[in-house]
Structure 1
């Protein structure tokens, strides 16, 4: 028996597979280079943006109310409320400067406890903003009972929605600074004064208890060595707040446009070429045609020739099958190897 179709099929498929493989190789190399270049630019932009956004001063809080249970930033709740409270304590300064509205006689002066609480809360909030999603954690700040959750959510893929969330938060911070910078700076100055007075009172009382019936030279030594350094060491809220809000403006001007452009370029090339998906489909197609279009017809032809079975031809036929499958196996193996490699790419 003879079959012209089966006889021609292996040669036809091998020729077509060779042409397709040659064409696709050129396309894949070009597409992969474009996507990879865009990915490298995005990675570089993320690295640069991370360095710009990382705070230089940080506050640690045991019970951080600015984090949700899942490790994300509690911005619309506690975050905005703390920012509003901090900017409202001395808001009359900005009203007076911008609108000429003098301070009302009935507006009370904030207490020392209110001022210190507002400064500490704002410092912790700003630290949390820049070390939690949608920003980066970098393992710089450890959140009690939530460090793993914060790190996990910060490690999420950087996409357009994340940039938009970052833009939303930064825009609000920039707006707050542009409308309330005088009141915030007054709060910071008052916070430093109140903190120093509080520390002075606490250490003076402690000093007096410790040095009862001590000679004056010994009292002087103890105060200078153990208490004076703590009294003088006050958190510089003014420089810290100014640094955080200036960082917000830098992120708005520099980081967000850079990330948006880099992500847009990567997304465009990635979705246009779809290197990973296309390559995996082509590999599956090649394996399919190699199996059913080349190997199967050759096996079928050999079976048709050997319909009248003779033991004398058995060993020769077995040798033919051995040569066929042993020489085809490397092609199947390399296709599977490439498939697994491509499957691990971060591209689409």
Structure 2
């Protein structure tokens, strides 16, 4: 078994390929660290590193195809009646190489001159803002002669879970603010029970609590408290509402690269299963495996209505296939918003994804189809 794994590693990745992979990592670190040559963000470095996983995915399918042409499976069946050593060794080859490359990828961002310096926080728009207004009127506290609406509610939806430590920046407008200077304009309260009084002319900077970050939804209520006569309920300027979340630094790089390693493990098994049992060329098996894994990592945008057309039918089919696959988009956290993508990580979905790869590996152990 040890010799089979060593030979699989040599066949998957040669010396020239290893030198090219190291040069690619150095180039990726340079592009991800300098704003003049690249974007100067850690997420783009992670995106360039993931291309090595795509290359290994092709080499994994090509390994099975070339060995099938050379008669390796039939010869190994004479030595191993159960037939599990060769498929397992061919899967371990690219998996171990991928782990080794990711360990090397940990080094460049820590070297002098390769340090991306992004902003500490990133700003994003809310996906949806909903307002609810209570029609029941009660006397305002402190001013029994004034009748004001009891509650004004807003629900701000980010569209996904958020990392802890987020901040909502909400511009409110009062059509008729109080006359006295320094007077408060009521109390705001969120679903975590936090309350804060707001003075006129100030941007409401609201920390996202544990419940709001986990669900990606911030629920705010405004109640009249200590407001003057003639003061009306506030109006949220929805187009300018933003939320800011902390970016992930280099300290989180091991976890981000671990997510990429776990993402490609089932992909190697899919590529080898397709190349082994469908008996297709390596390029076709690679494209099928890449399409399957890309669909699992796909992050659909907001729903858009499309008229009846072939494009709409294809989109509906893709969405149904996406719903049937484990949701693992949080594993492949790359790009400018990688810190938001990482927040979608779900351990249960990860177990389902690894189980699907294990199933593909088990199916690869089945005996080869004998030629007539």
TM-score range, shorter chain: under 0.3
TM-score calculated relative to the size of structure 1 = 0.23
Higher normalized helix content (fraction of residues): 1
TM-score, with length taken from structure 2: 0.21
